[in-house]
Amino acid sequence: MKFLDLTNPIILLLAVIAVSLLIFLGQEVKKSTVAIIPLFAFLASLIIHLVQVLGISPEYSNLISTIYRCMAIDFGFILVTFFAYLWVDDIEAKKNNKKSIDNSLDWFWKEL
């Protein structure tokens, strides 16, 4: 059974580097659409892992715990990339003098 094993340290390091670079690129070009790419990627990864857990055959039952750990890592990346998207969206809104999609985290950005 093939799946994206985010518990592998090398793949996890590459994912962190790729997400960091995309967030930095979105912040530099001030486009929130660049920062939302990893969010959608990890949402898709979470859905794929969920389908794999639900449809796993008994011969691969030893992989269930690994897939659950991958799902936990997916949730962590979703949380981080969602906050990064909101941050880059706030930067883009200030650049264009527009209202941000969500201003409920203004108190958080002022503390940073």
Is the whole-model pTM more than 0.85? Answer: no
Asked if residue 3 belongs to a domain, the reply is no
Asked if residue 2 belongs to a domain, the reply is no
**pLDDT digit string (tens) for 32-84?**
889 899 999 999 999 999 998 888 888 888 888 888 999 999 999 999 999 89
CB-CB contact of 88 with 26 (8 Å): yes
Asked if residue 67 belongs to a domain, the reply is yes
Per-residue pLDDT for 108 more than 80? no
CB-CB contact of 42 with 104 (8 Å): no
Asked if residue 36 belongs to a domain, the reply is yes
Taking CA atoms, 30 is separated from 8, 17, 78, 94, 95, in Å, by 32, 19, 20, 9, 8
Domain count, the chain: 1
Percent of the chain's residues with pLDDT above 90: 41
Per-residue pLDDT for 8 more than 90? no
Domain that holds residue 33: 9-111
Asked if residue 1 belongs to a domain, the reply is no
SS3 99: coil
Asked if residue 87 belongs to a domain, the reply is yes
Asked if residue 44 belongs to a domain, the reply is yes
CB-CB contact of 38 with 18 (8 Å): yes
Instruction: Mark out the alpha helices in the chain (DSSP H runs).
Output: 9-29, 32-35, 37-54, 64-96, 106-111
Structure confidence at residue 102 (pLDDT): 59
Asked if residue 63 belongs to a domain, the reply is yes
